[in-house]
Amino acid sequence: MSLSHQDVQDILRQLDDCPYDEMTLETEHYTLTLRRGDGGWTQDTETRGQRQEAGIASINSGEAAKEPEPTETGLLEIRAPMVGTFYRSPKPGADPFVDMGSTVREDSVIAIIEVMKLMNSISARVAGEVVEIVAEDAQFVEKGQLLMRVRPAK
């Protein structure tokens, strides 16, 4: 299935106008679930036989999808799983998801990346303490770009 730019724009317009907080689209190839929260819409994509958080055009590929491995200093790197605008908080003026020194679990939301007006929750995928936040708030990030470093939990 291929969506044109106009198709995506039409879907986004309908999402903004709809009164529902959750929507699921199922095809023979994937299931797309969208949820409205304080930060806007987030999405989960399940391809047949595989589940992951993903952007519309990002399905488990490249360096960002790999399990983080410790660097020479023993820190784990959290990288952007998709291209988009990186936000540290769910909405302007709100507290950030994490700060330096914050403890995270694998499922902790550490940021959101906006792609085509959809807000994608980014999970830490590691457990430990945030020791460095590299990406700037509201900065455009590339897929695989370093976002944060975490000291692994013992």
pLDDT at 73 (0 to 100): 76
Distances 77 to 10, 19, 62, 80, 102 between C-alpha atoms, Å? 36, 38, 15, 10, 15
pLDDT at 75 (0 to 100): 93
Q: Which residues of the chain have pLDDT under 70?
A: 1-4, 8-9, 12, 16, 25, 27-31, 37-72
Question: How many CA atoms does the CB half-sphere of 89 hold within 13 Å?
Answer: 7
- How confident is the model over 41-56, as pLDDT tens digits? 565 555 554 444 433 3
pTM above 0.85, yes or no: no
Q: Which domains does the chain have, with CATH numbers?
A: 5-52 (no CATH), 64-152 (2.40.50.100)
Q: Which residues of 47-69 are buried (b: 16+ CB within 10 A; e: fewer)?
A: eeeeeebbbbebeeeeebbeebe
Pair 104, 53: CB distance under 8 Å: no
What's the rounded Cα separation, in Å, for the pair 110 and 28? 32
Strands 139-141 and 109-115: unpaired
pLDDT at 103 (0 to 100): 96
pLDDT at 17 (0 to 100): 72
